[in-house]
Amino acid sequence: MGKIMRVNLSELKFKVEEMPTEYQGLGGRGLSSNIIGREVPPKADPLGPENKLIFSAGILAGTATPNTGRLSVGAKSPLTNGIKEANAGGSVAQKLARLGFQAVIIEGCAKELTMLKVDQSGATFSPASSLKGVGNYELIERMKKEHGNKISIISIGPAGEMKLKAASVTVTTPDFHIRVAARGGLGAVMGSKNLKAVIIDDTGCHPVEAKDKAKFKEAVAALSKAILADPLGPGMRDIGTPVLVMMINSFGCFPTKNYSLGQFEGAEKVSGEYMIELMKKRPNAQPSHRCMEGCIISCSNVYTDEKGKVIVSGIEYETIGLMGSNCMIDDLDTIAHMNRVCNDVGVDTMDIGGAIAVAMEAGQLAWGDGKAALSLVKEIGKTDRGIMIGNGCRYTGEKLGVKRIPHVKGQCLSAYDPRGLKGVGVTYATSPMGADHTAGLVLPNPGNPSYNPGAPTGQGGPSQFMQSFMAAADTLGLCMMAGMPLLDPVPQSTLISCVSAFIGESLNEDYLVNLGTPVLKAERKFNNAAGFTEKDDRLPKFFVEEKLPPSGNIFDVPEEEIDSVNKF
């Protein structure tokens, strides 16, 4: 188990602590949510000094286990007002683990904009006033010049400095592209602490070793084989997450025109298959790219313009769904440019896509007007309209008097309409994180042919299982693409063998449930104490009342079944 670094920004001091008994065996989301649950008053102002910001490496970070380098960022969220964990790939978590840290806890608030550097000697602080208002892309270039290219960077853009509710936290990949812990406005928490960036330098450190090296090597080989055996693997490898566009569109669940249609007539033009054809003609484009060392799937990409200049890495399904079809925009270049601006200013593409769609519904701009949408995104943090949009979908919808606002607990839905994928709808409704597909994506599964995603009942159990599974995956630092092939007991046992060999204990087949479920309970307890009740575990009424064309589905899962999910 790594140690904990506690950073007090008010005093510009730090201390290193052994992992307290109550946090033993945890990493990633499990660790950050337990720290928040014990150390942050549930009714604290998310942007006040009592809130804490946690960067936590998963249990397996820094080891040779594939796809286990995700960084969890946790705090009380200014977007949902509840507990929040958002995670991202990149190289930060692996470097933190190699430095011997399971988590860095940021407390207090610096008097001026500050930069933190963490390396083998501990932590150092420096003023960051020269970075005020600087976007993430320029910040990364400046940091590389100053600190060399062996570092990793956590940073916020101007949106985080301005404490906008949809502000994100950005991390770098080994080749200095951007990955984003996007959801829940955690960039605003970082901004409220006057922390512009954290540099992680693990020079001189070694990989994290397993307790039982021989067994670990064997288990890693078996786990890699299990992940690569996934039938969806080739699609993810060759096309990445945009492979989902045509699939979800064919299910009639692709969010279109602010969730008023389930199929988009421009779907093919924003599909993964179309994207790959475009990339073949463009210099420097990479249809397959890995966001972290040790990834064996490479679902990311590097999207370039016609001249070969990088626009963004990577363009993902969720961004295409929320900034594309949901706004009726059918041009990948426009969506890629909107994505880049969001990464630079530091906001969540999903909540911003949701905000633009509700602004379109309010008549502020025309459906499908990509030029106007891009120009609006460029206003984020600069004009009144840009500040409104930067505060996300719910804020924008309420400000403009829109009735149909697709959010739960203040967070915009992901790119799966819950009327056709009702298990996903139950997850949106009941997750302590607010609407979020990564909290428990329930999709049709060839391994479970009896599951019907459109049936009104039989959704609570699969959602509960997936929420617990994802809480465990997020605690291990495992990426979702590598987690999905491990849902069944046989492939899952290879992951459990890795953890067993790593910690030198023999874990049983219930390990993941026993890891994930208590994390959900701790998060639920925090949210209850913050004032949430079962009434907050509901989808917006229009999903229950409006039939979704072309299927005619409504979200009709009974409330008792929704509420059963959190009766552990």
Q: Which of 13-21, 271-279, 296-304, 383-391 is the region at the interface with ligand SF4 (rule: CB under 6 A)? A: 296-304
Least distance from ligand SF4 to the Cβ atom of residue 479, Å: 3
Binding-site string for ligand SF4 from residue 141 to residue 180, where x marks contact by CB under 6 A and - marks none: ----------------------------------------
Token digits for 240?
A: 């990445």
Q: Which of 189-197, 294-302, 332-340, 372-380 is the region at the interface with ligand SF4 (rule: CB under 6 A)? A: 294-302
Least distance from ligand SF4 to the Cβ atom of residue 321, Å: 17
- For residues 448, 449, 452, 453, the Cα torsion angle rounded to the nearest 10 degrees is 60
Decide whether 241 or 430 has the Cβ nearer to ligand SF4. 241
User: How does DSSP assign 513-545, residue by residue?
Assistant: HHHHHHHHHHHHHHHHHHT--GGGS---HHHHH
Omega before 314 cis (within 30°)?
yes
Helix residue ranges, H only, 174-212: 186-192
User: How does DSSP assign 488-513, residue by residue?
Assistant: SHHHHHHHHHHHHHHHTS---TTHHH
Which of 253, 257, 523 lies closest to 415, judged by CA? 253
Least distance from ligand SF4 to the Cβ atom of residue 58, Å: 12
Q: Which of 291-299, 320-328, 438-446, 520-528 is the region at the interface with ligand SF4 (rule: CB under 6 A)? A: 291-299
Determine the size of the site formed for ligand SF4 (CB under 6 A). Answer: 12
Q: Which of 2-10, 298-306, 417-425, 488-496 is the region at the interface with ligand SF4 (rule: CB under 6 A)? A: 298-306
Sole binder of ligand SF4 in the list 86, 295, 312, 470 (CB under 6 A): 295
72 is a site residue for ligand SF4 (CB under 6 A): no
Sheet holding 83-88, edge to edge: 13-17, 3-8, 101-107, 53-57, 71-76, 83-88
Least distance from ligand SF4 to the Cβ atom of residue 291, Å: 3
Least distance from ligand SF4 to the Cβ atom of residue 462, Å: 23
Decide whether 64 or 557 has the Cβ nearer to ligand SF4. 64
Decide whether 230 or 523 has the Cβ nearer to ligand SF4. 230
Would you call 73 helix, strand, or coil by DSSP?
Answer: strand
Sole binder of ligand SF4 in the list 200, 297, 342, 345 (CB under 6 A): 297
DSSP code of residue 88: E
Sole binder of ligand SF4 in the list 165, 183, 196, 290 (CB under 6 A): 290
Decide whether 89 or 184 has the Cβ nearer to ligand SF4. 89
From CA 380, how far away is CA 387, in angstroms rounded?
A: 6
Which of 118, 115, 119, 116 lies closest to 131, judged by CA? 115
291 is a site residue for ligand SF4 (CB under 6 A): yes
Sole binder of ligand SF4 in the list 192, 258, 286, 298 (CB under 6 A): 298
Antiparallel, parallel or unpaired: β 169-172 and 300-304: unpaired
C-alpha distances in Å from residue 282, one per residue of 24, 278, 287, 333, 351: 49, 7, 11, 12, 30
Sole binder of ligand SF4 in the list 67, 91, 102, 304 (CB under 6 A): 67
Decide whether 291 or 327 has the Cβ nearer to ligand SF4. 291
Applying the rule CB under 6 A, the residues between 87 and 116 that interact with ligand SF4 are: 89
CA dihedral over 97, 98, 101, 103, signed as positive or negative: negative
Decide whether 36 or 479 has the Cβ nearer to ligand SF4. 479
Applying the rule CB under 6 A, the residues between 471 and 510 that interact with ligand SF4 are: 479, 481
Strands (E), 309-413: 310-313, 407-408, 411-412
Q: Which of 120-128, 297-305, 354-362, 443-451 is the region at the interface with ligand SF4 (rule: CB under 6 A)? A: 297-305
Do 304 and 315 touch, CB atoms closer than 8 A? no
Decide whether 365 or 487 has the Cβ nearer to ligand SF4. 487
The binding site for ligand SF4 (CB under 6 A) comprises: 67, 89, 290-292, 295, 297-300, 479, 481
